[in-house]
Amino acid sequence: MGGIGTSTKRLEDPPLLLGKGIFVADINHDNQIYMRVVRSDVSHGKINFINTELAKNLEGVLDVWSAADFEEIPKIKFRMMGRNDLENYLQPILADGTVRYVGEPIAVIFATENHIADHAAELLEINIEIMQPQISATENPLIFSKHLNNEACLVTKKYGDVDKVIKTSDNFLELEFYVGRHSGVPLETRGLSTFFDEENDTIFLHGAAKVPHANKNILCEMLDISSKKLELIESHVGGGFGVRGEIYPEDVIIILATRKLKVPIKWLEDRKENLTSTNHSRDQKHFIKVGFDNEGFIECLDVEFFTDQGAYIRTHGITVSELTASMLPGPYIIPNYRCVGHVRLTNKTPSGTYRSPGRFESTFVRERILDAVANHLNKNPVEVRFKNFIPSNLMPFKRGIDTLGTEVVLDSGDYKRLMNNALEKLSFSQLQDELETRRNNGELVGFGFGYFIEKSGLGPFDDVKLHVNKFGKLELITGAASVGQGVETAMAQIICEKLGVGIEDITVIHGKTNLIERGMGAFATRVTVMTGSATFLAVNELYDIIIDLASKKLQQEHKDVKLNTDTGQIELINKSDGPSIDLQNILFEIYKENPHNSIEKTFENSHMTYPHGLHFAVTKIDELTLDVNIERYCVFYDIGKSVNPMLIEGQIVGGVAQGIGGTLFEEFKYDDLMQPLSTSFVDYKIPTCNEIPNVECYVYQNDMATGNPLGVKGAGEAGINAVGAAIASAIDNALMSRKTFIDELPITPDKIREKML
């Protein structure tokens, strides 16, 4: 019937497959007008003047705004990982005298038609005095504004005594690594559509994603709006990946304009705007010192890294740098660790989170360190990993540092067991021999590993409301959000598991701030852990209500009655031929007794859970073009408990595809004046089906989560986490006779050629 552990088809799919999906572009209102954002074409400069008179006088233009119209509006607030010392680096909704990146909004036009707004943009007179740009995060900081320089803050994590141990280690290496600037590029770009309910003086904002409740709270605070006067509504989302759903300048402006003009307003981002204005990510440079013994055991690790945050610190605060520093030790003991991260601003598009933020970067760095140690000692990289794994008998393992406000406690994990399972599945010894034979015959082919730890189930809470409707069906309302991950299906399966009802008898509603007061949304691979656990609590309470009511009707004790989920009958536990009653009748009775019945449950959690896995790649390099062909790709992943194996596999495969993009193709490049060179898909290369191999997924359920009643861990970011590490390792193995060492992403043919010279 679609309970936990079954590969049930998604409830979300029929409208999408039938072309009945509703995206922001599909939402229109009578008398709506259109918003056009005018953006800076200078990376760093002083705005001398913006003359809007000609544009305002154009027929069909309702208004034109610049920063002068928003003197009382605060800058865009943090959603998470903000600090008081960072507030001076927040982004204004329109450039406030200084532009800091190409694509920054400097004016906005409202018109009756899109083409009129475009024409009005051409009539604006804009004078910007060009200033020296900050090019990279590793060059000496320049002045950001007044007394502030471009180093916004430091992120420091440490335990043990690095300075002492590094002096006594048998071996010492200094390494440098770089992860290039790329990001989520959703099929559907950002868009917004507002509706003004004049009777109730309420604005409805369509186009919310990821964190509708959090964004509503921030917007209401910024604009001094009562929470009852603004509602955010989620429609279908054509790709989230971290970049969608945060608060951008356009979100604030469109609400202000709707309040002032009292008409529906629509705005859709084009692809150039998407590539220059929506959050970028990655762009980290690492400097490493590692001390280790002659067996390959890492005794100390000293890390300094620089995050290129772009022009402003947006709503994510310093989340990426925080996660990089705290998750870099991964599955290894590393008894002495110090990491200092510099968060620096440059004149690039502001950065935020992108699928597996901080972990894609730190896993690449960490696994490359393990490979460098193995190379230095002439040992097999597998042997070195076994030497450094945290033993399972030390679980739960307290790392001695915190992240995102919670202590890092690895709750469960047998890393050696998963590695052994992978080696067995791969017939690894035989595979090594085969690849060596091929290399001896002149092929540039090799294997590579990337072991990773993820974090999931970020608290502190999630709420649900479970209701029996007049048809005897079940409705679940949650403050979670859907960005394509199968929220409705997974939550319905948790209910099915307990009650045995058909999955088609359950409706899951999400992403509507007017239906439930609180909600954390969808990020940090949290929904199945947090929302799923709240749903579990709610359906268990409903089960007790059902049994209580049925036992009264059967004139039996509560303890003597059970629900047979196979037959849908509530019957006696010890008498198979005794009286029974149909579950459906009891559900009708619950509604009849109280049409407004609602079970409201909250699940709270102060610690995250930490799933783990291994990526394995076999790559072949074309000797002429140096293109990288991925011949085989495997992901081994322990999720604790699987709600829907098919959805997990889908998450993994999609993540691998994105990881391949960031590993081999995708990069936002700039020239010396910080003009973006990747403003279309001609210049920003994303992989197609031709570049994505068949991904072998091996999902294990050995290491249950200990902090939630379902025992589940998250799956959303496992597929992307270790792609860069595994492919880089495989390329090195393929080129082992050339003595290369890949230390930079993306790995393009030109970079491979440089390494071979």
Please write the tens of the pLDDT for every residue from 180-220. Answer: 999 999 999 999 999 999 999 999 999 999 999 999 999 99
Lowest mean pLDDT segment, chosen from 337-341, 529-533, 752-756: 752-756
Q: Please, which pLDDT band fits residue 576 given cuts at 50, 70 and 90?
A: confident
Residue 1 has a pLDDT of 67
Return phi, psi of residue 94, to 5°.
-135, 145
> Is the pLDDT reported for residue 73 higher than 80?
yes
Q: What is the mean pLDDT of residues 112-133?
A: 97
Residue 634 has a pLDDT of 98
Residue 575 has a pLDDT of 77
Residue 70 has a pLDDT of 83
**Residues 301, 335 contacting (CB under 8 angstroms):** no
> Is the pLDDT reported for residue 753 higher than 80?
yes
CATH topology assigned to domain 13-20+458-604: Aldehyde Oxidoreductase; domain 4 (3.30.365)
Residue 481 has a pLDDT of 94
Q: What is the mean pLDDT of residues 513-537?
A: 95
Residue 31 has a pLDDT of 96
Torsion sign, CA atoms 252, 256, 259, 261: negative
Residue 93 has a pLDDT of 97
Query: Counting beta carbons within 10 angstroms of the beta carbon of residue 324, is it exposed (0 to 12), middle (13 to 18) or buried (19 or more)?
Result: buried
In the chain, CATH 3.30.365.10 sits at 13-20+458-604, 281-457+607-756
Q: What would you measure as the largest C-alpha separation in the chain, in angstroms?
A: 88
> Is the pLDDT reported for residue 737 higher than 70?
yes
Distance between CA atoms of residues 346 and 136, nearest Å:
6
Closest CA to 510 of 518, 498, 502: 518
Q: What is the mean pLDDT of residues 496-507?
A: 95
The CATH number assigned to the domain with range 281-457+607-756 reads: 3.30.365.10
Query: From the CB of residue 391, how many other CB atoms can be counted at a distance below 10 Å?
Result: 11
Q: What is the mean pLDDT of residues 348-359?
A: 98
Q: Decide which of 3.90.79.10, 3.90.550.10, 3.90.1170.50, 3.90.1200.10 is the CATH code for 31-131+189-237+244-277.
A: 3.90.1170.50
Q: What is the mean pLDDT of residues 283-300?
A: 98
- Neighbour-count burial for 275-294, b at 16+ CB within 10 Å, e otherwise: bbbbbbbbbbbbebbbbbee
In the chain, CATH 3.90.1170.50 sits at 31-131+189-237+244-277
Query: From the CB of residue 649, how many other CB atoms can be counted at a distance below 10 Å?
Result: 21
Q: What is the mean pLDDT of residues 156-167?
A: 98
Residue 739 has a pLDDT of 85
Which string of DSSP letters, residue by residue, matches 253-291? HHHHHHHHH-S-EEEE--HHHHHHHS-BEEEEEEEEEEE
Average pLDDT, the chain: 96
Distance between CA atoms of residues 271 and 187, nearest Å:
9
